[in-house]
Amino acid sequence: MSVDHPYANRTAQHFDGIEFDEALIQKYNRQGPRYTSYPTALEFTPMADGMEADILKNRDATVPLSLYIHIPFCHHLCYYCGCNKIITKKNSDAGDYLTYLFKEIRHKKSVMPSGSRVKQLHLGGGTPTFLSDDELVELWEFLHAEFDFAPDGDYSIEVDPRELRPNTLQILRNLGFNRLSFGVQDLDETVQIAVNRVQSLDLITHVMSEATRLGYQSTNIDLIYGLPHQSIESMNATIREIIKLSPDRLSVFNYAHLPDRFVAQRRIRDEDLPSPSDKLAMFGNIITALSEAGYQYIGIDHFAKPSDTMAQAQRAGELHRNFQGYAILGECDLIGFGVSAISQIGAHITQNPTALADYQTAIRDDKLPAVKHIQSDAKDELRRHVIMNLLCHDYMNFGYLRERFGIEPTQVFADEIATLHDMAADGLVQIDQDGITILPKGRILGRNVAMVFDEYLSQKHAGRFSKVI
């Protein structure tokens, strides 16, 4: 095994294996972060004046860029939603928003050192296709005038199938987008009505067919289990139809019902939700169905065809996680633009205001908008490396930690290793002289393994997370 890159092609067969053990999931299932960063967003502190400018000015220009553009608008309120979305019928609101967005982009670009190439772009929200086709073209052309884009980059957009115009997918493909993510959630009409997101199977089939015809490299479908009126049988029917559509990736999320925190969820009645045991059975059936259909379990609710770049990156030891979830280009600095957008630049994480009015005020006043900040230290970097490799590659290599960080991991993590002994006895992990491996029976519980190494996780965050399942 090469310590230089111990995660590369380590266990090609490992990622074909996943075991669903209900008793062990019940034993270890508890609330925890999704680790889109470490430290997590719960460690944000107020941003000092001038700090964002210093971070941007001092970033390493040799590091490529991943740009995230947040479009916070939706035409419809989905009742399961836990995001700060702005529901409006007027596209003119988005037009005004683009004016602010362009000003923020120019300001940040003026501060950053020149020379970096964009290798990744993602439009998220909200519903980015809330923008008109002309506005999408305007945004793309503006970004290309400001930045140097790699011709073979990863350029993606989240799509609400209900908001597409006849030529939107063709226009996006002509611009250079090569990856799509469709929000579906469930195909059962009763469930769709209960969450205020009604869209027919015919519509989903049409947009998937169009994406294939137009030559998009990868398509993702989002599903949610645990929604009101879902049953084991209805969820089985949904997953069967989705498999027929053959998306390259699937994100299958556990619905966390938190009406005290998210106003939209107050439209959902507790008595309409499936029981915890039914939810667990749904996820078990989803794993079985997708595995039998040939999908690779990536981790934290994500699946991909073995031919997809995400699955390839995992097998090659090159998968990463950031605020967009799993990422194939984790060597990039992530620069976020728009309301609530998060940036990850070296050891720094920043976030823009979550309220539109606050964001607009900052931009009108010619200020860089970030209001929250995390700066990690060497100890954070070590633990981030451990947590992210456990979640991305099911492995933590002792030799690599010795060489890269100059530590003896069996001593530094003696308490954590001792904590994992119960999981080892239950066959979830293997601990040996080379490192810690998450076994097929433990892959669903990867977050629980990672939590052992989180120094920030404590009672102060109780109730802030969803359970793993």
Structure-token pair, residue 192: 């769709």
- Alpha helical stretches, state H, 50-166: 51-57, 91-111, 133-146
User: Looking at residue 1, what is its pLDDT?
Assistant: 39
- The residues near 128 (Cβ < 8 Å, ≥ 6 apart) are 69, 71, 136, 157, 158, 159
| Average pLDDT estimate for 41-65 | 95
Average pLDDT over residues 211-217: 97
Cis peptide before 39 (omega within 30 of 0): yes
Strands (E), 78-206: 86-87, 117-125, 148-159, 179-185
pLDDT tens-digit series, residues 358-392: 999 999 999 999 999 999 999 999 999 999 999 99
The pairing of beta strand 73-74 with beta strand 86-87:
parallel
DSSP state of 460: G
Q: Residues of 301-326 as b/e, b for ≥16 C-beta within 10 angstroms? A: bbbbbeebbbbbbbbbbbbbbbbbbb
What is the rounded average pLDDT of the residues 127-136? 94
Query: In the predicted model, what is the mean pLDDT of residues 263-268?
Result: 91
Pick out the residues of the known binding site for [4Fe-4S] cluster: 74, 78, 81
Over range 295-304, report the average pLDDT.
Answer: 94
Residues flagged as binding site for S-adenosyl-L-methionine: 68, 80-82, 125-127, 158, 185, 197, 222, 256, 342
| 93 vs 272 pLDDT, higher one | 272
pLDDT confidence of 8, banded at 50, 70, 90? low
Angle in degrees, CA 141, 63, 300, rounded to 5: 85
Q: What is the mean pLDDT of residues 68-77?
A: 91
Q: What integer is the mean pLDDT of 137-155?
A: 96
Token reading at 139: 């945004």
Least confident interval from 169-183, 188-202, 319-333, 420-434: 319-333
Average pLDDT, the chain: 91
Q: What would the mean pLDDT of 7-26 be, rounded to a whole number?
A: 74
Question: Domain map of the chain by residue range?
Answer: 13-33+377-461, 45-337
Provide the 3-class DSSP secondary structure of residue 280.
Answer: helix
pLDDT above 50 for 34: yes
Residue 10 has what pLDDT? 54
Strand partners, 32: none
pLDDT at 287 over 70: yes
Q: 303: which residues sit within 8 A by CB, 6+ positions away?
A: 249, 250, 251, 252, 290, 295, 296, 297
Of the ranges 1-5, 139-143, 228-232, 269-273, which one carries the lowest mean pLDDT score?
1-5
List, as residue ranges, the binding site.
68, 74, 78, 80-82, 125-127, 158, 185, 197, 222, 256, 342
Band (pLDDT 50/70/90 cuts) for residue 76 is confident
Give the model's pLDDT for residue 18: 87
Q: What is the mean pLDDT of residues 420-431?
A: 96
- The average pLDDT across 54-79 equals 94
Q: Which CATH architecture has domain 13-33+377-461?
A: Orthogonal Bundle (1.10)
Angle between helices 232-245 and 201-214 (to 10 degrees): 30
Whether 330 shows a pLDDT value over 90: the answer reads: no
CATH of 45-337, one of 1.10.3720.10, 3.40.50.1000, 3.20.20.60, 3.80.30.20: 3.80.30.20
Q: Which of 213, 182, 184 is nearest to 199 (CA)?
A: 184
Could you give the CA distance from residue 275 to residue 208 in angstroms, rounded to a whole number?
A: 32
The pTM of the full predicted model, rounded to 2 decimals, is 0.92
* For the ranges 79-83, 422-426, 460-464, the one whose mean pLDDT is highest: 422-426
Residue 258 above 70 pLDDT?
yes
375 sits in which H/E element: strand 372-375
Residue 192 reports pLDDT greater than 90: yes
pLDDT of residue 193: 97
Mean pLDDT of 9-20: 67
Q: What does the pLDDT read at residue 3?
A: 46
Enter the tokens of residue 357: 């009015």
